[in-house]
Structure 1
């Protein structure tokens, strides 16, 4: 199945612009199920983008989330670790960024905002597990080789 892609931008309360990568089936209609894709610590990687593309090929609306701002990407482990550590230093930072991503995906005209799930890889796996632990409005969450440690255990219910 052919797909279309576009950048979806949204801004944090502190003025950081996040530039996420949206993938849709080429002939998308409304009411598609949506999937957030949280990347590894490298930033908005080709791996995360390709995962979103594969999901769109299967008929989903998929948003590879920019978790650092400006669609930053590095192949330097020290830089990736610095960005991840900075993002994890204040739990409110990732909470805001992921909730903005969820809101942005739900707001797309092709998406049924009541049918959204999330997947994540490594650092992104932790990000989506934390979304589930917080009780964000997700129907399903899958973590691929995700970091399991968290300062926020799952809430009862």
Structure 2
């Protein structure tokens, strides 16, 4: 009995540990980041800007956790791929802008990873900064089942042949000029 209780405590601790998580998409490693406010805390599904997941996303995740949310920051580039040169950032984002199907696959795979972690994906919204904001709008157009999609300074252009008819949640755009 003592071993069982200890095992359950260990599992509970692991389920709500914060940090990096490696997961696979088509055999390639991706590294997301998550924080958990509480077992049933609403989830903020965050997409990084064109730098990949950096201290900026980690800081925002911590701030959201302090407000009572859990956060899963999805990795759209791959484990260890964090471009620093302008040309590399442009190349990484262009590769996904030019292949929306791949972008959606990576967005959905990250969301599935959040589910596996036990995060509250039934009460969730998606948000992203710049490239991440554009990606969140792509997720909205895909028909993802989130309550809201919140881009910050994302590209607002709708690609040819796409629309928002499958969008299930509300869209709240923050875009200064």
Bin for the TM-score computed over the shorter chain: 0.7 to 0.9
Structure 1 unmatched runs, 5+ = none
1:138 aligns to 2:146 (yes or no): yes
Match 1:73 to one of 62, 82, 99: 82
1:112 corresponds in structure 2 to: 120
Q: Is the 8 A contact 2:143 2:166 kept in 1?
A: no
1:10 aligns to 2:23 (yes or no): yes
Summarize the alignment of residues 1-150 of structure 1 with structure 2, pairs less than 5 Å apart.
5-13=18-26, 15-25=27-37, 28=38, 30-109=39-118, 111-150=119-158
Under a length normalisation based on structure 1, what TM-score does the superposition of the two structures give? 0.87
Q: Distance in 2 between matches of 1:9 and 1:53?
A: 19
Greater gyration radius? 2
Q: Is the 8 A contact 2:48 2:128 kept in 1?
A: yes
Where does structure 1 differ by over 3 angstroms across 4 or more consecutive aligned residues? none
Structure 2 unmatched runs, 5+ = 1-15, 168-177
Q: Matched residue of 2:36: which SS?
A: strand
Q: Displacement, 1:71?
A: 4.0
Greater Cα shift, 114-123 or 72-81 = 72-81
How many residues align? The count is 150
Q: CA RMSD in A?
A: 1.7
Q: Distance in 2 between matches of 1:105 and 1:48?
A: 16
Q: Is the 8 A contact 2:141 2:166 kept in 1?
A: no
Deviations 1:7-47 (A, max 9, x none): 1222112x22110010123xx3x222111111111111221
Q: Displacement, 1:103?
A: 1.2
